[in-house]
Amino acid sequence: MDGSRINRSRSSRNIVPISEVVQHVDQKINLVGMVVEFSFPRRSKGTDCVLILKLVDKSQQSPELSVNIFTLRMENLPVVKSYGDLIVLHSVTAKEHDGEVNIVFKKRSSFALYDGRSTDDFSCYQALGSFSLSWSERDCITNLRNWWPNAQLNSGRSEYLISMKDIVADTYFDLVCKVLHISYDISKGQWMFFVWDGMDAPFLSFDGNLVNEEKNPLPLQVESSPLDIDIVRKFFRIGTVLRVLADPSHENIGLQFHGVGKWVRIRNMAAKIFAGMWYGVLNPLSRVRFLTDDDVSVLDCRRKYKERILEFDRLPLWGPAHDLTVIDYHQPEKIQFLTLMDVICHKEDNAIFFCVVRVVAIHHFQCKDFCSLDEIGKHEMRLTLEDSTARIHAFLLEEEQVNFFNGFHSDVLADKIKRLLGVPEHQNLLDEGKFTRHPPLVKCVLDSIKDNTGNIIYYICCTKLT
């Protein structure tokens, strides 16, 4: 229900300040507070739908008051739209658990959500139950609207906060990031967030063998199907866009979350690895905080990103390119290196790009195809390239393939290929046993050409093994 009535009687409904909630354990009370954090809506192990809010007011900012909201239907849970939004709670119960007092919202409770910005509008944007706003509650809303913009509210404890460049697999952490997109992955049956903080996630190693990768090629993205190019073109060109999978219990998260385009702090998430790519995972206890553009954590992300875009070359954070390849391309002006996101988002075909990438796979992978001088240039090769922003396929054909392999003898060439793919020196390329490889960063030139169906195809050119 949108909007709420104002109770025209001058009788004041008793509003309990958050600092006094501890005095009302096991009592029904009414509250007005600013929402600073919320969990993602989910189903409980029973029949209820659950969401947890963290509230503050002028009387108490720390510790934040937890409000556990239980409803029979997912659409009845509160959906907070923006930083600073306010909630009015009626007939909720204060409970003590493990020495902490929190609020429980159940069947006979009601709520209304209000825009937190300073305004004379007292219509709510969401309400549940028979809801009327008293004059005293209207005064509380006005006072909170005037108070919070100048209040020194923190964005959460910093001990678990990390940057994208510091993520580690299978550990829980908080991430300050901008939410770029949300979509539903039909094959996975889960919602997926696309988030970014301006930094590069660390490069990963590959465990397995090349023979198996030939049969099961590495995917180009975590999501089951690539996003529409018009969506991708709205993403940033520098920094990793991390895919974050919602928990299966988060049924309607994409429809109930209003954070796209906003800076947030995602709390209690983890990082996993899929086919040499990072992705994040939420769990039933993950939470989110909306942040303002002038939050200290946001300003730090924006400053670091600005420093990166001011640099002439768009290079990964993880060290210079290896000298395994050289660029054989002559132009009067200085060469500028770009990211693979720059390449993907370029709208015109027949363009030349200079990139620093890792060659993470070669297909078709058979030693005889490139370790015999007589065979070079006769077989199509598809290389899988990646940097911190994307993965793409790029083909190596005919004369450019001959040029790339640079006339090396087959024994030397096999060693060069091993180094290009990061295969350990003692390992045989066709060994079917499991081993770990670490592809190095190398320089390359890419050419883009549009095929008959309108798709852009990438080719490696003007690049030689040294």
pLDDT in tens, 302-321: 999 999 999 999 999 987 87
Mean pLDDT of 251-261: 90
Confidence of residue 407 (pLDDT cuts 50, 70, 90): confident
Are 343 and 285 within one domain? Answer: no
Encoded tokens for 426: 């003692």
Closest alpha carbon to 217 in 133, 284, 275, 270 = 275
Closest alpha carbon to 459 in 350, 386, 376 = 350
Residues 6+ apart with CB under 8 A from 52: 38, 39, 66, 67, 68, 69, 287
* Boundary (domain end) residue, out of 276, 311, 346: 311
pLDDT(13) > 90:
no
| Residue-level pLDDT at 11 | 46
| Residue at 65 is within a domain | yes
pLDDT(454) > 90:
no
Confidence of residue 405 (pLDDT cuts 50, 70, 90): confident
* Boundary (domain end) residue, out of 117, 150, 183: 150
Are 240 and 349 within one domain? Answer: no
Are 178 and 306 within one domain? Answer: yes
- How many percent of the chain have pLDDT more than 70? 93
pLDDT(21) > 50:
yes
List the alpha helices (DSSP H) in 116-163.
135-147
| Residue at 57 is within a domain | yes
Encoded tokens for 30: 């009414």
Give the DSSP H or E segment for 410: helix 410-421
Select, from the ranges 145-154, 288-297, 448-457, the one with the highest average predicted confidence (pLDDT).
Answer: 288-297
Are 368 and 427 within one domain? Answer: yes
Mean pLDDT of 27-44: 95
Are 107 and 187 within one domain? Answer: no
State phi, psi for 438 to the nearest 5 degrees. Answer: -130, 85
| Residue at 268 is within a domain | yes
* Chain centroid, CA 422 distance in Å: 28
* Chain centroid, CA 21 distance in Å: 37
According to DSSP, residue 148 is labeled G
Angle at 172 between CA 166 and CA 174, to 5 degrees: 65
Lowest mean pLDDT among 26-30, 102-106, 379-383: 379-383
| Residue at 373 is within a domain | yes
Closest alpha carbon to 222 in 202, 242, 239, 204 = 242
Are 139 and 165 within one domain? Answer: no
| Residue-level pLDDT at 8 | 45
Lowest mean pLDDT among 104-118, 172-186, 187-201, 359-373: 359-373
Are 343 and 273 within one domain? Answer: no
What are the tens digits of pLDDT across the range 231-252?
999 999 999 999 999 999 998 8
* Boundary (domain end) residue, out of 106, 121, 150: 150
| Residue at 2 is within a domain | no
pLDDT(1) > 70:
no
| Residue at 4 is within a domain | no
pLDDT(370) > 80:
no
State phi, psi for 201 to the nearest 5 degrees. Answer: -65, 150
Are 27 and 140 within one domain? Answer: yes
The length of the chain in residues reads 466
Domain range for 448? 325-465
- How many percent of the chain have pLDDT more than 90? 71
| Residue at 6 is within a domain | no
- At residue 384, the 3 state secondary structure works out as strand
| Residue at 307 is within a domain | yes
> Average pLDDT of the chain?
90
According to DSSP, residue 298 is labeled H
The CATH number assigned to the domain holding 249 equals 2.40.50.140
Lowest mean pLDDT among 58-67, 136-145, 189-198, 363-372: 363-372
| Residue-level pLDDT at 330 | 80
pLDDT(356) > 50:
yes
| Residue-level pLDDT at 402 | 84
- Domains: count for the chain: 3
| Residue-level pLDDT at 132 | 84
Confidence of residue 5 (pLDDT cuts 50, 70, 90): low
Are 303 and 349 within one domain? Answer: no
Mean pLDDT of 378-387: 87
Are 110 and 45 within one domain? Answer: yes
Half-sphere exposure at residue 138, Cβ-oriented, CA atoms within 13 angstroms: 18
Alpha-carbon gap, residue 306 to 422, rounded angstroms: 32
Of residues 412 and 38, the one with the higher pLDDT is: 38
Alpha-carbon gap, residue 76 to 79, rounded angstroms: 9
Are 28 and 56 within one domain? Answer: yes
Judged on CB neighbours under 10 Å (0-12, 13-18, 19+), 238 is: buried
Confidence of residue 10 (pLDDT cuts 50, 70, 90): very low
Mean pLDDT of 49-70: 96
pLDDT(155) > 90:
no
| Residue-level pLDDT at 378 | 55
pLDDT(257) > 50:
yes
Could you identify the residue written with the tokens 């009015």? 88
CA dist 368 to 365, 410, 422, Å? Answer: 9, 9, 19
Are 422 and 354 within one domain? Answer: yes
